[in-house]
């Protein structure tokens, strides 16, 4: 693996069959937290969140290994590609959201193992977030530039009652971004995410959520997200990564 790439990207299962990625060899990287699967492009190192087969469910993703593998290669900032459910009817499927904050109240992972380790003040990296927003404006796709991401544990979707509660405090719900943001910040790396709104959460909007509908919309959005990934790789130099 070539060291020194400033940009890291973490992608989900929908990218495993991407024409832009399928010809890049997958490398298995050893870390103190087990192994991580990565792809190396000219502009960035890409971590496969759910493994090379896409078989690791959200609640078992090894965020520490994925992010340590990126840090080991010299990455200084990370963009996570996320699939989320909308908690607001004003945020419809097909939208993009760049959240400015997150909530995660269960199973928060950490690199810290002793009371002498420092606390972090958790946040998405604002300079990276703003430069990502500016870059996506050039791609000419509608982007919601503010929003709160609520992470649940998964792997199941949330109940109607749970979504009714979450919708009072957040704009979208997912299962991985808050953990990635926390571990990245503990590792000293800047992190933000691009959320593809792939469904209304259970009980929000019409028609009602179903597993079949979710997978159908993910397939529809995959081509757009692949194009965004390619656009970011081609313009990675304008992103605000720490030096």
97 lies in some domain:
yes
pLDDT for the residue numbered 214? 64
Task: Show the domain range for 47.
Answer: 7-238
1 lies in some domain:
no
Which residues face 83 on adjacent strands? 196
Token code pair at residue 236: 């990675």
Burial class (CB in 10 A: 0-12, 13-18, 19+), 173: buried
2 lies in some domain:
no
Residue whose structure tokens are 């973490």: 10
Distance CA 6, CA 222 (A): 25
Find, among 122, 125, 126, 127, the residue nearest to 109 by Cα.
Answer: 122
pLDDT for the residue numbered 2? 40
CATH number at residue 67: 3.40.50.1580
pLDDT for the residue numbered 77? 96
pLDDT for the residue numbered 211? 65
Tell me which H or E stretch contains 132. helix 126-139
pLDDT for the residue numbered 181? 97
83 lies in some domain:
yes
Helix (H, G, I), strand (E, B) or coil at 36: strand
122 lies in some domain:
yes
pLDDT for the residue numbered 112? 81
User: In degrees, to the nearest 5, what angle opens at C-alpha 131 toward C-alphas 128 and 135?
Assistant: 135
134 lies in some domain:
yes
Distance CA 28, CA 145 (A): 34
Please count the structural domains in the chain.
1
125 lies in some domain:
yes
Q: Are 232 and 141 a contacting pair, CB within 8 Å?
A: no
Q: Where are the beta strands (DSSP E) in 32-160?
A: 34-40, 44-48, 77-86, 96-97, 101-104, 143-144, 148-151
pTM: 0.90
Task: Going residue by residue through the chain, which has 243 residues, state the pLDDT in tens, using 9 for 90 and above.
Answer: 344 468 999 998 877 666 667 778 899 999 999 999 999 988 899 999 998 888 899 999 999 999 999 999 999 999 999 999 999 999 998 899 999 999 999 877 888 876 666 788 899 999 999 999 999 988 878 899 999 999 998 888 899 999 999 999 999 999 999 999 999 999 999 999 999 998 899 888 766 656 666 666 666 777 888 899 999 999 988 898 876
243 lies in some domain:
no
């Amino acid at each position: 693996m070539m060291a020194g790439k400033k940009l890291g990207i973490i992608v989900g299962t929908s990218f495993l069959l991407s024409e832009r990625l399928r010809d890049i060899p997958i490398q298995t990287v050893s870390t103190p937290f087990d192994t991580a699967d990565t792809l190396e492009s000219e502009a960035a190192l890409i971590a496969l969140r759910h493994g090379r087969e896409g078989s690791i469910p959200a609640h078992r993703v090894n965020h520490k290994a994925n992010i340590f593998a990126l840090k080991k290669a010299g990455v200084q900032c990370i963009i996570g590609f996320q699939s989320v459910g909308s908690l607001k009817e004003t945020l419809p499927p097909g939208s993009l959201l760049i959240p400015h904050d997150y909530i995660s109240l269960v199973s928060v992972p950490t690199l810290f193992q002793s009371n002498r380790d420092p606390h972090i003040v958790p946040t998405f990296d604002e300079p990276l977030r703003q430069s990502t927003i500016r870059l996506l404006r050039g791609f000419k796709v509608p982007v919601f530039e503010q929003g709160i991401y609520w992470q649940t544990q998964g792997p199941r979707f949330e109940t109607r009652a749970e979504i009714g509660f979450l919708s009072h405090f957040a704009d979208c719900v997912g299962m991985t971004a808050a953990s990635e943001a926390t571990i990245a910040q503990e590792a000293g790396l800047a992190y933000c995410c691009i959320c593809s709104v792939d469904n209304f959460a259970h009980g929000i909007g019409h028609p009602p959520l179903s597993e079949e509908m979710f997978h159908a919309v993910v397939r529809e959005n995959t081509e757009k997200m692949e194009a965004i990934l390619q656009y970011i790789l081609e313009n990675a130099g304008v992103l605000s990564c720490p030096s």
